[in-house]
Amino acid sequence: MRGRIELTGMRFIAHHGCLESERLEGNEFKVDFSCEWDTAAAELTDELDDTLDYSHVYAVIAREMAVPSRLLEHVAGRIADALREEIPGLEHFEVSIYKKNPPVGGECEWAKVSTVR
């Protein structure tokens, strides 16, 4: 039985961006994670060992968000690669990163980049 597990609205202050000021001052970022996961065993046993450990997903994302990058695409790719490497059975998932008030020369609340594996 496949289910969907999501972590949404994870917030970080990070130092991603092409401008030097972005990397020095930092900015607010949000990250969403969504995956398909076999939930059958957990539905029966009520045991954490039988499902995806959200805290492990969060820890991987937080670690990668702490590494400055110029492009959100690069951050999203690093997060996706690390999740796939560290979480056995994680196959179909999406990571979205939102950057608050990106420097686009006009009003823009968030820039968003997503990667799907």
Candidate list 30, 99, 100, 112, residue with the active-site label: 99
Check: CB of residue 14 under 8 Å from CB of residue 27.
yes
Is 30 one of the catalytic residues? Answer: no
What's the angle, vertex CA 69, arms to CA 63 and CA 73, rounded to 5? 95
Q: Which two tokens stand for residue 105?
A: 């020369």
C-alpha Rg value of the chain to the nearest Å: 16
Residue whose structure tokens are 């968030």 = 110
Check: CB of residue 98 under 8 Å from CB of residue 31.
yes
Q: Euclidean distance between the first and final Cα of the chain, in Å?
A: 20
Residues with a catalytic annotation lie at 99
